[in-house]
Amino acid sequence: MEQTGTDKTGQLLALIRGRQPMTLRQQLSLIVRLSVPAVMAQLSSIVMQYIDAAMVGSLGASASASIGLVSTTTWLFGGSCSAAAMGFSVQVAHAIGAKDMQRARDVFRQSLVAIAIFGLALGMAGVLISGALPVWLGGDESIREGATHYFVIYSAFLPLFQFYVLSGSMLRCCGNMRLPSLLSVAMCLLDVVFNYFLIFPTRELHVAGLQFVMPGAGLGVAGAALGTGLAEAMTALWLTWYLCRRSPDLRLRAGDGRFRPTRRILRGALHIGLPMGLEHAVICGAQIMTTTIVAPLGVCAIAANSFAITAESLCYMPGYGIADAATTLVGQSYGAGRKRLTRRFACITVLMGMVVMGVMGVVMYVGAPLIIGSMTPDAEVRALGVMALRIEAFAEPMFAAAIVAYGAFVGAGHTLVPCLMNLTSIWAVRLTLAAWLAPTMGLRGVWLAMCVELCFRGTIFLIHLARGRWLR
């Protein structure tokens, strides 16, 4: 009987767990099989943000600036969710690599309780600060109300979003990239539908000579947040159900053990996840500081900065998809005690990421006017956004080196040193340059600083990868 792609992927992963030799062709095949679905999942996530931005952008620069003002804070909260999930899922990858399936199920079962508590606490914190956040970020008074509405709705859905992140991360660390990818695409489609009816008011449409009334809630910025939240909630519930009831590796079984987190598993989660959380805080804190640097440049600069960041995501998200594959492969190889194979997977995935994102950088440079033009009709915002994207295009290969190498380090449970590297690079290089250049060069200076910093960060990550100390 002909094998399916999923069966073939499972057989290749079994070679790692069984400590059997792997040819270069088998290694490359496995990397591609895991990377492609992960890249599709990352791209669908960015397409969802792109759709939000485009739909809200049609309402004007002020509406776009409302979301742009708090976007870095939403990334901070989302990154915290990711770090919490990875603290447990990397332990699952190591247990599966060691063929200790009972321990893998123990980690997953206990993670459900720990993650539920963390997600609720994070969501409550977001709701509490939502009113003051736009003021703290220095946003113009005209956009504060919209920014508050967006962030409070986003925060209310965080507990369910946390389960979405955990379930997807667990499945990927088991080697199942396909299901999270398909559900990410489904979530993107749901987001389009919900946004269409929630953002815009009831209106008359003319199609093929026919006239009809299209109902709508007319919630504007708040509708964008609500549509995204509902799409995430529906996807999270289905994905969590599948993991608990249908997953071959992790599904819950009667009498399998307790749900209360043990000190050993919590310690492992903190060892892996806490530096990752600090790393996300460092990066997002720097992005928040960047927002405060950009805010005095005006509403158009804020909107253009937000659009450019969203558009650039289309370029670097393939790198994050390959990094997900690197985390899975390095995690299972490391758990199996195969240090040489671990290092080889890390090097191959980093090289692949640099090539893919280098090509995407060329596409971004050439297509910048079309990309930004599809997101906003405002001429000044479009000009600033195109300028920002074309500066950033030159840094994409080195950005890929940092992204994928970090994914490999996470798979090995090595997260503290990369966190410190990110802290040094972003705060000492990017913010210093941005604060120095912005007053004289405007938004161009902010993005030049970002380009220089990403090249520096990629260089130090490549050096750390080559030295090999992360394996010890």
Reported as a single tens digit per residue, the pLDDT across 261-277 is: 899 999 999 988 888 88
Ranked by mean pLDDT, the top range of 148-157, 192-201, 213-222, 415-424 is 148-157
| pLDDT confidence tier of residue 406, bands split at 50, 70 and 90 | very high
Strand 210-217 to 201-207 pairing: antiparallel
* Cα–Cα dist 112/269, whole Å: 13
Q: What is the mean pLDDT of residues 396-424?
A: 91
Alpha carbon dihedral 413, 86, 348, 37, in 10-degree steps, equals: 160
pLDDT score at 49: 65
> pTM score, two decimals?
0.79
Helix (H), strand (E) at residue 213? strand 210-217
pLDDT score at 177: 83
Q: 238, 229 in Cβ contact below 8 A?
A: no
Within 141-298, where are the H helices? Answer: 141-156, 158-173, 178-199, 221-245, 263-294
SS3 assignment, position 254:
coil
Q: What is the mean pLDDT of residues 114-136?
A: 94
DSSP bridge partners of 213: 204
Higher-confidence residue of 338 and 374: namely 338
pLDDT score at 441: 87
- End-to-end CA gap in the chain: 43
pLDDT score at 76: 83
Q: What is the mean pLDDT of residues 172-178?
A: 85
- In single-letter form, the type of residue at position 140 comes to D
Is the confidence at residue 6, as pLDDT, over 70? Answer: no
Is the confidence at residue 3, as pLDDT, over 50? Answer: no
pLDDT score at 53: 67
SS3 assignment, position 291:
helix
* Cα–Cα dist 370/350, whole Å: 29
Is the confidence at residue 58, as pLDDT, over 90? Answer: no
* Cα–Cα dist 444/273, whole Å: 35
Minimum mean pLDDT range among 39-43, 176-180, 199-203, 381-385: 39-43
Give 19's contacts (C-beta < 8 A, 6+ positions apart).
336, 337, 338
Is the confidence at residue 72, as pLDDT, over 70? Answer: yes
Q: How many helices (H) and strands (E) does the chain have?
A: 17, 2
Minimum mean pLDDT range among 31-40, 223-232, 345-354: 31-40
Q: What is the mean pLDDT of residues 131-137?
A: 89
Phi and psi for 212 in degrees, rounded to 5? -150, 160
Q: 391, 444 in Cβ contact below 8 A?
A: yes
